A = this chain, B = another copy of it.
Amino acid sequence: MPRSSFAGSLSTPKVDVVIDTGNPFFNLTVDGFLKIGTVAATRVAAEETYHIVKSGSLKHQNFEHSLKKMCKEGAYWGTVAGVYVGMEYGMERIRGTRDWKNAMLGGVLTGAIISVASKGKGDKIVTDAITGGAIATAAEFLNYLT
């Protein structure tokens, strides 16, 4: 059962979301979607807040635009993360080990899937897959460093 727990501001309120789909693969995917989606939505919120503070005016139209952008980016990042987490879990099950190669292969598959889903063609799918693998490997290495 995944527990999505994170703290959203400097005064540290806690948000706990617990969803059990009854399948470890989907649990991980849902958890990844929720967590990373929230991070992306928060990023947009922070950026839009900066622009509002800077321009000094809050228009209704801007607010609606910001909200839409939060949902859109949140859903996109969340989907990428969900697919990646699911793929990495799948790799672990197939290969039977936990190491950085799971991250790499998961990233390659995720890159290819997202590329196909966003109507990438031919070369673009391959280069997206390679880039996905590289980003996942880099994130995995950073993880051991810090």
Q: Which residues of A contact B (CB under 8 A)?
A: 2, 6-7, 28, 31-32, 35-36, 39-40, 42-43, 46-47, 50-51, 54, 77, 81, 84-85, 88-89, 100-103, 123, 126-127, 130-131, 133-134, 137-139, 141-143, 145-146
Which residues of chain B are near A81, meaning CB under 8 Å? 138, 142
Complex CA distance for A89 and B36, rounded to whole angstroms: 23
Which one, B102, B134, B142, contacts A85 given CB within 8 A?
Answer: B142
Which residues of chain B are near A77, meaning CB under 8 Å? 138
Q: Could you tell me the dominant secondary structure of chain A's interface residues?
A: helix
Which residues of chain B are near A101, meaning CB under 8 Å? 7
Complex contact A50–B85 (CB within 8 A): no
Complex contact B32–A134 (CB within 8 A): no
Complex contact B145–A40 (CB within 8 A): no
Complex contact A145–B32 (CB within 8 A): yes
Which residues of chain B are near A42, meaning CB under 8 Å? 134
**Known contacts A36-B138, A46-B134; 5 further A-B pairs (Cβ under 8 A):** A6-B141, A43-B130, A47-B127, A81-B138, A84-B142
Complex contact A100–B6 (CB within 8 A): yes
